[in-house]
Structures are given as structure tokens and as C-alpha cells.
Amino acid sequence: MSDQKRIPQHVAIIMDGNGRWAEKRGKERYEGHIAGVESVRRALRAAANRGVKYLTLYAFSTENWGRPAAEVDALMELFCRSIVNETPELLRQGVEIRMIGDRTRFSEKVQQHLARAEEQTAGGKTLTLILALNYSSRDEIARAVREIARRAAAGELSPAEISEQTIAAALDTAPFPDPDLVIRTSGEQRLSNFLLWQASYAEMWFPEVLWPDFSEQDFDRALEEYARRDRRFGLIK
């Protein structure tokens, strides 16, 4: 198999450990989130340089609204600031920004920043950066099922026609291929409601490193491990 074949087309990352990184240093949790933005730049650079075409980053789950208001507010500020500051550079690099998750729960201001970043970077050919914001798989699936049920009730679709493709096409991720590799930092070994449908045959990698310490070498280590895996998709080889 050529080297290119062993590069995952789509890498998805659960960026975990910002709070612990800050606590270890006697800092506030939000300082861990700020440090995490630098890791996003590094991961994006590494992904683009290695020929990965889709990078999904889990930045805020629907469950994260349950954190103290000060932390949620700090995260919203950071999303706005980062998206505005980074868009020109992403545009220059040919990175297209897309979003998955229920954006209707965000403030008007956050929604406008997201929409503008998506419009400005549309058509970028180097890599598609997919931000999972106010995302959870169960919420995404529930929204998709409501839409499919609405179409069935309106007579646009017969229940017997509903296939895996119908469901996949109703998810936020419809335009993108399934992830090949899911990385979760900080040593936790769980999916926390992330891409449950889409990651059915993804390879998983759980490094101990906390997200703000995640380096290009860590990204390369994940790719090396991926290249060694034998993906069988239920078949015999």
C-alpha cells in the first residue's frame, strides 16, 4: 500500500484536558482553554502538511452548557475571538471552515461570526476544518429523525424507503466522509457523545497528553499508529 493510502482522510479530535492542564499550573480553567487554541493551530498545520483532508474538532458539547456560567462565557468569547482572528490565515492556507452541531442555541453574535467564517472560507481546497460546537451525537440524531419524520408525515418519503443513507444524509455531517481516526487526548477513553454514528469503523487513539500540550509530534504518532492498524470492516483478510 502506498504511503498516501495510509494517511487518514478524516481525523476527528476530542480536545480534552484543558482544565487539568490549567489546574496543574495553579491557573484558572479558562487559561487552559486559551492555551488549547495554540494546539488547534499546531494540529491544523500538522494535518494540512500530512495531507489529511478533513479535521473535525470537538470544541463544545451540548452537555458543556452545564458548566459554571463564567467558564461557558469565557469559552464563547474565545470562540468569537479565535474565529475572527484566525479566519484571514485560514483563508490564506486554503482551509475551509464548516460547523456541525445545533448553532441556534448560540447568541446572534456567535452565529454571525460562524456564518461569516464559513462564507469567507468556502471552497478552500487544502483541508476542511469542521468545528463541533454545541454538538452531541444524540442531539444530532434526534434532529435528523425529526426531519425524516416530518418528510414522511408530509408524504415526501415512505417509511419503507428509510435506509442508512437516508439517515446519514439527514445528519449535520452529510457533506463529509466518516472519520478514519478518532483521537481523544488527556487519557480518557470514552466518546462523550461524539460522532457515534459516523465513527462506527474509525480507529481510536487515546494519548495521555493534555490538549494544551498536544504537539505536531503527537499528531505524527497518531498517524504512525493509524498506519499500523489493520482495518477489516467486518471482512476477512
Name the residues that contact ligand IPE, by CB under 6 A: 14-20, 58-61, 64, 75, 186, 188, 190, 192
Active-site residue (options: 3, 16, 73, 213): 16
- Nearest distance in Å: CB 186, ligand IPE: 6
- 18 touches which of Mg ion, ligand IPE, none (CB within 5 to 8 A by kind)? ligand IPE
Q: What is the distance between the alpha carbons of residues 37 and 180, in angstroms, rounded to a whole number?
A: 24
Per the CB < 8 A criterion, the answer to whether 90 and 57 are in contact is no
Q: How far is CA 53 from CA 61, 137, 145, 193, 224, in A?
A: 23, 22, 29, 23, 17
What crossing angle do the helices spanning 216-228 and 29-50 adopt, rounded to 10°?
A: 50
Cell of 211: 490538549
Is 16 an annotated catalytic residue? yes
Residue from 3, 18, 49, 64 carrying the catalytic annotation: 64
Q: What span, in angstroms and rounded, lies between the C-alpha atoms of 237 and 232? A: 7
Which residues, in sequence order, are bridge partners of residue 97? 129
Distance of CA 190 to CAs 108, 193, 196, Å?
32, 9, 11
Cβ closer to Mg ion: 128 or 137?
A: 137
CB of 143 to ligand IPE, least distance (A): 18
What span, in angstroms and rounded, lies between the C-alpha atoms of 61 and 141? 14
Q: How far is the CB of 16 from Mg ion (least distance, A)?
A: 4
Q: Which is nearer to Mg ion, 16 or 139 (CB)?
A: 16
Give me the phi and psi of 107, to 5 degrees please.
-65, 160
Work out how close the CB of 234 gets to ligand IPE at its nearest, in angstroms, rounded to a whole number. Answer: 28
21 binds Mg ion (CB under 5 A): no
**Residues 136-167: b if buried by 16+ CB within 10 A, e if exposed:** bbebbeeebeeebeeeeeeeeeeeeebeeeee
| Residue 16 within binding range of Mg ion, rule CB under 5 A | yes
| Binding partner of residue 15 among ligand IPE, Mg ion, none, CB cut-off 5 to 8 Å per kind | ligand IPE
Of residues 152 and 204, the one with the C-beta less far from ligand IPE: 204
Based on the number of CB atoms within 10 Å of its own CB, is 73 exposed (0-12), middle (13-18) or buried (19 or more)? exposed
Picked from ligand IPE, Mg ion, none, the partner binding residue 105 (CB below 5 to 8 A depending on kind) is none
- Closer CB to ligand IPE, residue 17 or residue 207? 17
Q: Nearer to ligand IPE by C-beta: 22 or 47? A: 22
- Among Mg ion, ligand IPE, none, the one that 64 touches (CB under a kind-dependent 5 to 8 A) is ligand IPE
Min. distance of Cβ 60 from ligand IPE in angstroms? 5
Active-site positions read 16, 64
Contact residues for Mg ion, defined by CB under 5 A? 16
